């Protein structure tokens, strides 16, 4: 049974990055609940306050609920962070704000590191109860050998500057935890998928439809993924369980998938569930393509530049896989949605929101 400590604002959820993919998914889970979980988890919060960048369109957020309180601000501004949490002693903070594909390398550190510390300092000053912070697989890097799975004891080995910014972020969170003024939980999320995805996800599905789904090497490398409802379940459990205080957890689907399985599953769902015929081809590249991209990516990042396509290509022959067993044991985490069901929902959402593929 989910148990929260008694506090006047304990049933208030404060969410940064609420207008992002994960942020919208989390807000939706808080408002509408999740299927197949302890119903006490679905009744955790009565009030939601969110931070949204100035000028951003909040139509989608307001479509989830008209009762969401929207605060305009930026995690890079300490005063904006103070405004977000002021007066909410005992509330729960979900920090999902971050940047994965920046314009320049310095954005990683200004947003992922300094922005997080700004939010946590404000949370301490306002006596919030607990902060659940979204990290990534990147601080831990790539698996050393095929078949290896990361767990909570795996050491830091950051992948490029994104991984380093998240590693430094996690180390900063540990220092905050040691001060004893704010409970913290770190959640390491791998590649996630599902509703509220940006429109570029439709392009990925179209590439697979047209036989241009990229496979680097033999496609047997494993990737952990997290369907968005699985991930938000993990976040809500991390907020609610006393045992989670000070811990780090991997949250992912029940098992990793090979790149072959990921593309094959999407292709099958497109045809069987939506009647969208596929070319049944792959854009095959030798493994060295990722190795060359890694060299270029590292060189560009070394002079402060970033190219999203090169960075993504550099990872495509890598094993990046984890186990979520600790979360299952300690938090009661149950990743109920697998790749096939999750991709069906993901594709349906894209079609409903962005038009036919």
State the angle between helix axes of 200-209 and 339-354 in degrees (0 to 180), rounded to the nearest 10: 110
What is the arithmetic mean of pLDDT over 57-70?
Answer: 94
Q: What is the pLDDT of residue 4?
A: 41
Rounded distance between C-alpha atoms, residue 265 and residue 270, angstroms? 9
Asked whether residue 117 carries a pLDDT value surpassing 80, the answer given is yes
Give the SS3 label for residue 86: coil
Phi and psi for 143 in degrees, rounded to 5? -60, 140
Q: How confident is the model at residue 7 (pLDDT cuts 50, 70, 90)?
A: very low
Q: What is the pLDDT of residues 136-164, one digit of tens each?
A: 999 999 999 999 999 999 999 999 999 99
Better-predicted residue by pLDDT, 286 or 39 = 286
Q: What are the distances in angstroms from CA 191 to CA 57, 97, 315, 321, 339?
A: 25, 16, 12, 10, 12
Per the CB < 8 A criterion, the answer to whether 342 and 194 are in contact is: yes
Per the CB < 8 A criterion, the answer to whether 259 and 213 are in contact is: no
Per the CB < 8 A criterion, the answer to whether 196 and 228 are in contact is: yes
Asked whether residue 10 carries a pLDDT value surpassing 70, the answer given is no
The CATH code that applies to domain 12-194+224-254+320-336 is 3.40.50.720
Asked whether residue 38 carries a pLDDT value surpassing 90, the answer given is no
Per the CB < 8 A criterion, the answer to whether 335 and 190 are in contact is: no
Instruction: Determine which of 3-12, 131-140, 238-247 has the lowest per-residue pLDDT on average.
Output: 3-12
Closest CA to 244 of 152, 181, 162: 152
Sign of CA dihedral 283, 260, 137, 349: positive
Distance in Å from the first CA to the final CA of the chain:
42
Report DSSP state, residue 156.
P
Domain boundaries, the chain: 12-194+224-254+320-336
Asked whether residue 5 carries a pLDDT value surpassing 60, the answer given is no
HSE-CB at 141 with a 13 A cutoff on CA atoms is 12
Per the CB < 8 A criterion, the answer to whether 188 and 140 are in contact is: yes
Quote the percentage of the chain above a pLDDT of 70: 97
């Amino acid at each position: 049974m989910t148990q929260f400590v008694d506090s006047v604002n304990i049933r208030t959820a404060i969410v940064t990055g609420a207008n992002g993919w994960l942020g919208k998914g989390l807000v939706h889970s808080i408002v509408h609940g999740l299927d197949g979980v302890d119903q006490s988890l679905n009744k955790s919060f009565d009030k939601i306050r969110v931070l949204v960048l100035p000028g951003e369109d909040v139509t989608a957020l307001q479509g989830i609920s008209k009762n969401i309180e929207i605060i305009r601000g930026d995690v890079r501004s300490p005063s904006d962070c103070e405004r977000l949490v002021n007066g909410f002693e005992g509330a729960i903070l979900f920090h999902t704000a971050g940047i994965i594909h920046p314009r320049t390398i310095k954005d990683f550190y200004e947003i992922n590191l300094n922005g997080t510390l700004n939010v946590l300092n404000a949370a301490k000053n306002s006596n919030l109860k607990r902060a659940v912070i979204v990290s990534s697989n990147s601080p831990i890097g790539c698996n050393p050998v095929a078949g290896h799975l990361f767990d909570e004891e795996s050491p830091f080995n950051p992948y490029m500057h994104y991984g380093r910014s998240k590693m430094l972020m996690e180390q900063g969170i540990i220092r905050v935890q040691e001060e004893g003024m704010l409970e913290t939980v770190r959640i390491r999320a791998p590649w996630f998928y599902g509703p509220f995805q940006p429109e570029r996800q439709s392009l990925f599905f179209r590439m697979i439809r047209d036989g241009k789904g990229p496979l680097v090497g033999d496609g047997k490398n494993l990737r952990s993924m997290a369907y968005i409802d699985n991930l938000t379940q993990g976040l809500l459990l991390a907020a609610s369980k006393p045992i989670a205080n000070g811990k780090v957890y991997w949250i992912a689907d029940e098992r990793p998938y090979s790149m072959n399985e990921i593309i094959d599953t999407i292709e099958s769902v497109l045809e069987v569930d939506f009647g969208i015929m596929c070319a049944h081809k792959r854009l095959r590249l030798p493994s060295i393509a990722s190795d060359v991209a890694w060299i270029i990516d590292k060189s560009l990042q070394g002079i402060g530049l970033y190219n999203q396509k090169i960075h993504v290509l550099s990872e495509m022959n890598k094993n990046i896989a984890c186990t979520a067993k600790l979360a299952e044991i300690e938090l009661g985490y149950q990743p109920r949605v697998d790749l096939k069901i999750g991709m069906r929902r993901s594709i349906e959402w894209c079609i409903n929101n962005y038009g036919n593929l």
